[in-house]
Amino acid sequence: MTESANTQMNIATYILSMVVVLLVMGCAETSSDSRSRSGAGSDGSSTSNASGSGQELTKDDLHEKLLNREAQLNLEKDELAKLQVINEALCERINKINKECLPKKPITANSKIRLVSCDGNPVEEVSNSKIEVDIYLDGSGEFKLDFHSGNTIYQSSTLGPGTQELKFTNRADDQTLTPSFSDIKKMRLTADLLSSGSGSSATVTVDIMVDGKTVLKDIVPGVKVGGSYDLNVRKIYQQLISSSCQISNEALEQFLAPFNSSEGSFDNDKSSSTSSAQAGSAADIEQRIVWVEEALADLFPNLEAARNRSFNLKKALKGDTGVGCRLEQKITELSITIDGSPVIESVANKRNDRIEGSGNAKEIEIDLGGVSFASTIALGSTFSPDEDLTSLDIASLTKINLRKGGTSFINNLVKCDSSIIGDVFKKDNDCYDILEESVMDINKIKLEVNGLTLFEQGNLGLKLDRDRLTWKYESLQLNPKWGEMLLRNDCEATN
């Protein structure tokens, strides 16, 4: 082989080896870029590009993020601790009412009643209340009372004029609690014998008492032998809305006021935390952020359970009348506010090819379950669907799902780095510095229906971009604002 051929082979071999090196370096850079984009807290936001400027977070930026997440953790711990105290107090108040409310007493003496469990364990007590009935008429007779509860009929023993203990020929079995008076859907008086000074019929007064207090009193005219007559059980239900069986909105607010006035033990002043200099290295801070995010995730189920329990206890304390009536209201007004700002993010530097967008990056699709609509948005604005929603009721709303309509990129033409090997290989290629525009950086979402706030959450740290076009909240009807709506009973005033 000639010297010239050897030289050409050596040059070719050298060029090939350099190409391999460049390829390896390119892969490493891509991997590093991928790690910087995926190195994040549990909320999915990038730790190297969280500011939306394409710059890696500084140690001070990381420290600021750590302070914010620690603040959130402490706030949620305080909320859980407060809810546990409130729920205990609500539970005790409910059980006090259950013991004092006459319609909630069992229809027979020495029967079990079920109380609300304050510690999670089933609670049953035996009621020692005295159940009596006083029958008055001008004459004499023999009567029976039938109490209808579900598919079961409880029939009393034979009753005569005057006051006597109310006993039934059948009782609930050991596996079934004796129904309370408020469980009775129908109460019927039957006359087996009748002797009246006024002829073949009589006016009969029935007074049913618990511990000497009337739970139902009704006057039945025209009673005849063999006839059956329904008593007005609505008089029992009317007692359920009295102060002895439930508390009003105002009374509930007063009851909760001492708990709500407490600001909690956590001081949200960041100056009380360690400074950036005291917090260790950037890696230490990043590890701490991961730990706080894991703690928040572990805390969430307990906090949600406490919130749901608090809602159910408040609902029970307020009684049954009117509670939840808002669910049946037709939707006359609906709006959703999405606060945040559009940002531009760096995607890649000196990339060989362009990245093209798709769809409408400024549009967002909103799915609320029964209602779906799309809108070109300016973050910070309030949006409402154009269509008439009056055929839908509030109960049809079940979720809040957001979907960004597309992506958009800015491809800035730049020169690639030249690869020079002597005079043999030298080429300036076109490359692109690529930015993603119209990234939606969302920090708060608020849903309002018929003048009521049904969802409101801030500090979301939500970013809709090329890597995450959707956000889903499937448990709309479990959030605290929805629970507040359910507790309202002012539907008639707003229909």
Each residue's pLDDT tens digit, 352-394: 888 999 999 888 899 998 888 888 777 878 888 888 888 888 8
Place of tokens 């400024």: 362
- For the ranges 33-37, 56-60, 421-425, the lowest mean pLDDT is seen at 33-37
Taking residues 467-485, report their average pLDDT: 82
Radius of gyration of the chain (CA): 36
User: What token pair was written down for 309?
Assistant: 């329990």
199/119 same-domain check:
yes
Q: What is the pLDDT of residue 34?
A: 38
Domain-located, residue 151: yes
Taking residues 114-139, report their average pLDDT: 80
Q: How does pLDDT run across 4-13, given as a tens digit for each residue?
A: 444 444 444 4
User: Domain boundary residue among 209, 240, 271?
Assistant: 240
Q: How does pLDDT run across 19-36, given as a tens digit for each residue?
A: 444 443 444 444 334 333
Residue 34, Cα to own-chain centre: how many angstroms? 35
Domain-located, residue 24: no
Domain-located, residue 58: yes
332/481 same-domain check:
yes
312/345 same-domain check:
no
Q: How does pLDDT run across 224-256, given as a tens digit for each residue?
A: 999 989 888 877 877 777 777 878 778 888 888
| Pairwise CA distance, residues 193 & 174, whole Å | 34
Domain-located, residue 407: yes
pLDDT band at 319 (very low <50, low <70, confident <90, very high): low
The three-state (H, E, C) secondary structure of the chain, written as one string: CCHHHHHHHHHHHHHHHHHHHHHHHHHHHHHHHHHHHHCECCCCCECCCCCCCCCCCCHHHHHHHHHHHHHHHHHHHHHHHHHHHHHHHHHHHHHHHHHHCHHHCECCCCEEEEECCCCCCCEEEEECCCEEEEEECCEEEEEEEEEEECCEEEEECCECCEEEECCECCCCCCCCCCCEHHHCCEEEEEEEEEEECCECCEEEEEEEEECCEEEEEEEEEEECCCCEEECCCHHHHHHHCCCCCCCCHHHHHHHHHHHHCCCCCCCCCHHHCCCCCCCCCHHHHHHHHHHHHHHHHHHHHHHHHHHHHHHHHHHHHCCCCCCCHHHHCECCCEEEEEEEEEEEEEEEEEECCCCCCEEEEEEEEEEEECCEEEEECCCCCEECCCCCCCCCEHHHEEEEEEEEEEEEEEEEEEECCCCCECCCECCCCEEEEEEEEEEEEEEEEEEEECCEEEEEECCCCEEEECCECEEEECCHHHCHHHHHHHHCCCHHHHC
Q: What is the pLDDT of residue 61?
A: 85
196/230 same-domain check:
yes
250/334 same-domain check:
no
91/227 same-domain check:
no
pLDDT band at 170 (very low <50, low <70, confident <90, very high): confident
Taking residues 479-483, report their average pLDDT: 77
Domain-located, residue 147: yes
Dihedral angle of Cα 21, 27, 32, 34, to the nearest 10 degrees? 170
Q: What is the pLDDT of residue 142?
A: 94
pLDDT at 323 over 60: no
CATH number at residue 110: 2.60.60
112/225 same-domain check:
yes
Place of tokens 């910070």: 380
Domain-located, residue 373: yes
Highest mean pLDDT among 12-26, 88-102, 263-277, 322-336: 88-102
Q: What is the pLDDT of residue 14?
A: 44
Q: Which domain holds residue 172?
A: 102-240
Comparing 320 with 476, the larger pLDDT belongs to 476
Domain-located, residue 31: no
- For the ranges 201-210, 416-425, 481-490, the lowest mean pLDDT is seen at 416-425
Contacts of 481 (CB under 8 A, 6+ apart): 453, 454, 455, 456
Taking residues 134-161, report their average pLDDT: 90
CA distances from 86 to 208, 262, 309, 321, 390 (A): 36, 12, 10, 23, 38
Q: What is the pLDDT of residue 159?
A: 94
Domain count of the fold of the chain: 3
User: Domain boundary residue among 181, 213, 240?
Assistant: 240
Share of the chain above pLDDT 70, in %: 76
329/439 same-domain check:
yes
pLDDT at 151 over 80: no
pLDDT band at 134 (very low <50, low <70, confident <90, very high): very high
Q: What is the pLDDT of residue 276?
A: 58
Place of tokens 């409310």: 101
Domain-located, residue 380: yes
Q: How does pLDDT run across 444-456, given as a tens digit for each residue?
A: 999 999 989 999 9
214/116 same-domain check:
yes
* Closest of 230, 237, 206, 218 to residue 102, by C-alpha: 237
128/232 same-domain check:
yes
| Pairwise CA distance, residues 93 & 32, whole Å | 59
276/394 same-domain check:
no
Dihedral sign, Cα of residue 90, residue 96, residue 98, residue 103: negative
| Pairwise CA distance, residues 7 & 9, whole Å | 5
pLDDT band at 176 (very low <50, low <70, confident <90, very high): low
pLDDT band at 48 (very low <50, low <70, confident <90, very high): very low
User: Domain boundary residue among 320, 353, 372?
Assistant: 320
Q: What is the pLDDT of residue 163?
A: 94
450/384 same-domain check:
yes
